[in-house]
Amino acid sequence: MSRVLIIGAGGVGQVVAHKVSQAPEIFSGAVLASRTVSKCDAIKAQIKKRRDYPLETAQVDADNPREMAELIRKVQPKLVMNIALPYQDLSIMDACLETGVDYLDTANYEPLDTAKFEYKWQWAYQDRFKEKGLMALLGSGFDPGVTNVFCAHAQKHRFDEIHSVDIMDANAGDHGYPFATNFNPEINIREITAKGRFWEQGDWKETDPLSVHKTWDFPEIGPKEMYLMYHEELESLAKNLRGLKRIRFWMTFSERYLTHLRVLENVGMTSIKPIMFEGREIVPLQFLKALLPDPASLGPRTKGKTNIGCLIEGVKDGKPLKTYVYNVCDHEECYAEVESQAISYTTGVPAMIGGMMMVTGKWKQPGVWNMEQLDPDPFMEQLNLRGLPWVEEIWNG
C-alpha cells in the first residue's frame, strides 16, 4: 500500500493531489494537509467531481516538527511530499527522520529572513538519512527537477562530456492582469530581484539583477527576451555533470512585468526587511503578496504556452554535439485537466512522478539526492505518459 502525505494546498499542491488521484494503481490513497484545511477540502471537492479516490484532508503547521511528526504517525504514509514553501523543508525533513519516512520536495531550503537559497542546509542531512535507511529527493519540480533529469539523460545517452548547459524557461501565458506572479509571489520576487549568478570554469560569476539578456526563438512560442538569473539547480548540476565548463539559467519576462517590478522595487515594496507601520511590524514583500492576485486564481484566466528546456553542448566520440530538449505545456489544457495553470502543472506533475519513482522502488537509495543523481530513464518515460511530453533536437558536428 502506497499512501502518501502531501503537505501544502497551494497552486502546486492542488496539481499533485489531482495527479496522485489519477494513479490509484501506484498511490493507494493520500492525505492532503496544509495550514488552512479549507483549501485542502476545496481540492478534495474538485477531485471528487472527477473520480472516486481515497483522499483525506488535515490541518498542520509544518513549521513545527513535533506537529508534523504527530501527523505522520497518524497517517502512516510511505512518503511525505513537501509541496509547502521552502521555509518548511528542514522541519519536515526532521519530522521524516523522527518517524522513519521518505521525503520529497520541489524547492530547496531558504531561511525566512535572507533571500538566499542553497543546498548546504539540506545536503547536511545526508548522513542522517543514510543511517536511517531513508531517502530524501530534492527539487522534484520542473526547474529544478525535470531540467536536472534532462541533463542526466543527455549525460547517460548522448554525450561523453557535457561542456555547457543553458536552461531556458519561457512563459508566454497571458492572465489579463497588469501584474501577477505565476507562483507564490514572495518566493518568485525574492528569486527575480536577487543578483544573477552562473558557473564557469569552476567559479561562480555574479551579474546585476536582470542585467544580462538575449533573445531566443522558443519552439511553439516564438522569439522572447530571456534574462540570466541564478537558479538552484545550477548548484547541484555544476557538481554532478562530467566535464562541465559553464552552466547558466535564463527566464523570459515581458517588458510590462519588468516595468512593474522596477517600480515596486524602487518604492521598497519588494524588500524583506521588516518596517514599522502604524505601530505594527510588517514585511513589505509579504504585504505586496496580500495585494497581488492569488496564483491559484490565475488558472481560468491564463491562455498561451510555456516552454522549458535545456540547450546542451559537448562532445561524443571526439566530435562536437549539441542537443535541445524541452517540454511545451498549454495553460488552458492544464486548466481543463486539473483546474490549474501550466506553471503549477509543470511543477506538480514531476513531483507526482518523483513520488512514483520512490514508492515503486525505481528510485530507492538511502541518503539525500538531487534529481540528476538518479537513473533518468523511468522518469523520462513517465513524463511522456503523465502530461509533460518532451522533444529532443540533436545537431552533430
Q: Which residues bind ligand NDP (CB under 6 A)?
A: 7-13, 34-36, 39, 60-63, 83-86, 88, 106-107, 139, 141-145, 183-184, 187, 295-296, 347
CB nearer to ligand NDP: pick between 263 and 282: 282
CB nearer to ligand NDP: pick between 295 and 355: 295
At a CB cut-off of 8 Å and minimum separation 6, what does 288 contact?
185, 189, 264, 269, 270
In the complex, the smallest distance separating the C-beta of residue 295 from ligand NDP, rounded to whole angstroms, is 5
Helix (H) or strand (E) holding 130, with range, is helix 126-131
CB nearer to ligand NDP: pick between 63 and 200: 63
CB nearer to ligand NDP: pick between 8 and 314: 8
CB 89 within 8 A of CB 82: yes
DSSP 8-state symbol, 189: H
Cα distance between residue 240 and residue 123, in whole Å: 14
In the complex, the smallest distance separating the C-beta of residue 202 from ligand NDP, rounded to whole angstroms, is 26
CB nearer to ligand NDP: pick between 35 and 130: 35
- Burial label, 127 (beta-carbon count in 10 A; 0-12, 13-18, 19+): exposed
User: In the structure grid, which three cell numbers stand for residue 265, read together?
Assistant: 522595487
In the complex, the smallest distance separating the C-beta of residue 88 from ligand NDP, rounded to whole angstroms, is 5
Helix (H, G, I), strand (E, B) or coil at 112: coil
Q: Nearest to ligand NDP by Cβ — which residue?
A: 10
CB nearer to ligand NDP: pick between 89 and 330: 89
CB nearer to ligand NDP: pick between 34 and 236: 34
Sign (positive/negative) of CA torsion 130, 133, 135, 136?
Answer: negative
In the complex, the smallest distance separating the C-beta of residue 91 from ligand NDP, rounded to whole angstroms, is 8
Cα distance between residue 7 and residue 84, in whole Å: 6
CA of 264: how far to CAs of 114, 189, 260, 268, in Å? 19, 10, 6, 6
DSSP per position, 44-87? HHHHHHH----EEEEE--TT-HHHHHHHHHHH--SEEEE-S-GG
Beta bridge partners of 115: none
